[in-house]
Amino acid sequence: MLNIFQNQLPIKVSDKYLIRYISNDDKKDLFQIYSNKKIAKYVVRKTHCSIKDTEEFIQLIKQRMKEGNNIYLGICEECSQKLIGIIRFLEKEDPSTLSIGYALNEDYWGRGIIYTVVNNLIEFIKLEGTYKRMRATVKPENINSQKCVEKLGFILQGKFNKSEIIDNKEIETVRLLYYKII
């Protein structure tokens, strides 16, 4: 999956940021993202309460990548190598559609980083030629993410409910469904 990324990592996506694999060395930076309550309301993932939660998440990332239908990449500052965000690509039922998800450290919100990263990575995805469209789901209250995917050319297709298990509790969430032809 997405061999074009894997063969070229790290990938410089702007004069300040690059994309690379996530490693165990990133656990403090990932903890900073996934322990933040403001971020937690937009992603359906257990809020990390300890570094142990983050270490388990890194193991889950490695397991999912080994299975072959997921790729997780770190968004990093080029100069410091600090991990400031994460981007996930997932191949689901339709092999011509690639789903995307992301999270960004709150200190970096409002700088256009996700737009820049995704826009650059879409060019790599087009070159690979495997995928015909991309899919993004966004919580309705995440207005900035909606604006970002719309600016990237994703078109709102509808709304759906999704049940997920977080901390052994079933949570029902509403999502907006966006698609982009590539």
User: Tens digits of per-residue pLDDT, 39-70?
Assistant: 988 886 789 999 999 999 999 999 999 988 89
Look up the pTM and report it.
Answer: 0.90
User: Tens digits of per-residue pLDDT, 84-137?
Assistant: 999 999 988 788 999 999 999 999 999 999 999 999 999 889 988 889 999 999
User: Tens digits of per-residue pLDDT, 28-42?
Assistant: 999 999 999 999 888
- Count CB neighbours of 44 within 10 A: 16
Cβ neighbours of residue 81 closer than 8 Å, sequence gap 6 or more: none
Kindly state the percentage of the chain with pLDDT values over 90. Answer: 74
Type of residue at 6: Q
**Of 54 and 1, more confident:** 54
CB 175 within 8 A of CB 162: yes
- Count CB neighbours of 79 within 10 A: 9
CB 34 within 8 A of CB 50: no
The ranges assigned to domains in the chain are 3-135
Tell me if the domain spanning 3-135 has CATH number 3.40.630.30: yes
